[in-house]
Amino acid sequence: MSTRILFLISGLGLGNSTRCHAVIQRLQSARAEVAVATSGNGLWYFDGRPEVLSLYEAQSLYYGQSGSQISIFHTLLNAGEYVNIMRHNKKQLSKILDDFKPNVAVTDSVYTLAPMRDRKIPVAALNNADVVHEAYRFFDDTPKSIRAQFYGIEELDYLFHRKRLDLVLSPTLDRAIPVSPPPYARIGPIVRTGYGAAQMTRSPKKVVIMLSGSVFGTPVRLTEADRPVNIEVVGRRAPENWPEDGQIIYHGRQRETGPILKDADLVIINGGFSAVSEIFCMRKPMLVVPVPNHAEQWLNARMIKHLGVGDIIAEEDLEAAILPALSRIEEFRASYEYLPAPEDGAQQAAKRILALAELPG
């Protein structure tokens, strides 16, 4: 009989969905049966995927915001609404569990655990809050702007997963970051099949700007007329009345970005860990634009700078940073040569999840 695995995935952005999909791809090779409960972007991403036996709709928690930026104050102010969302998801999840009858559940930024506990179903999580917890203390230049979000969200996330989960699969790029104790289990970066190394040796010809699909994603406003490279923008539609000149191409939202990234010489992304991981595993130089006030995104960007394969830039400097980064392409490429090949975190996660499903009780 096949192992049945239920993934509970936040649909706020696309990063949770893409990394869960990477693990699901490996589980399919082991002939596991997988169902997904998700929302928002996750429903769009998983719709019609042959690896997913059943797709269920849920509601997602979300960050409060002030203008276009994350606000810890408004996040805490929305606590009552979050409780209502979790109550709704608890009822919905109970129905899903009774319908699908999984051997194990895997959560990615979903915090409703009671229905699994009531049915004695083991629960694993894909979550690297321990990396954020450790990296915040590892680097000595963390800005004050991320402090509130770190202590108000990231540290609570770390403690929740440390106390409430049977297994937490924690991917990282930087092996210098200390490892937290169980139930955290450190693994390599989680990336989808087809996102392996694609090293380039030519002079730079193509830049890809691929920014988050969440409401906090960085806007793209390109104004310079003369550029030495072509630019392709993923995840954003062309501005109204945009003159198509072939040098700047807008792709809109894409489920599979690998073909666009394959021949990119430089990639500009927000600091979500899934996007950073895929670009890292493709061995592409990158500029990382952390969402303002977001601790994890800043620390992900700081790790890329620490590894020497890219740099951190601010939202307002996106276009101005392209030419200086192109002049450093060989420096970034050389840094990759000194780094060990990344482990297959998706395969490691799949093995640990299948093992958890087989434990008695």
pLDDT digits 0-9 by tens, 67-102: 555 545 445 455 566 566 667 778 889 999 999 999
Range of lowest pLDDT (27-31, 42-46, 244-248, 259-263): 244-248
Regarding predicted confidence, which is higher, 52 or 361?
52
CB atoms within 10 A of CB 124: 26
pLDDT, tens digit, 9 for 90 and up, residues 138-147 = 999 999 999 9
Rounded CA gap, 154 and 294, in Å?
Answer: 9
Rounded CA gap, 215 and 146, in Å?
Answer: 18
252's CB contacts (< 8 A; 6+ apart) are 234, 235, 236, 237
35 within 8 A of 57, measured Cβ to Cβ:
no
Give the per-residue pLDDT at 344: 96
Give the per-residue pLDDT at 78: 54
In a 10 Å sphere around its CB, with 0-12 CB exposed, 13-18 middle and 19+ buried, how is residue 92 labelled? Answer: middle
Give the per-residue pLDDT at 360: 63
194's CB contacts (< 8 A; 6+ apart) are 256, 258
Percentage of the chain with pLDDT > 70?
87
Rounded CA gap, 69 and 66, in Å?
Answer: 5
Rounded CA gap, 78 and 64, in Å?
Answer: 7
Q: What is the 3-state secondary structure (H, E, C) of 253-284?
A: CCCCCHHHHCCCCEEEEECCHHHHHHHHHCCC
CB atoms within 10 A of CB 120: 7
pLDDT, tens digit, 9 for 90 and up, residues 188-206 = 999 999 898 877 778 899 9
- Which long-range contacts does 252-261 make (Cβ < 8 Å, 24+ apart)? 253/44, 253/213, 255/44, 255/45, 256/194, 257/210, 258/192, 258/194, 258/195, 260/208, 260/210, 260/232, 260/234, 261/195, 261/198, 261/208, 261/210
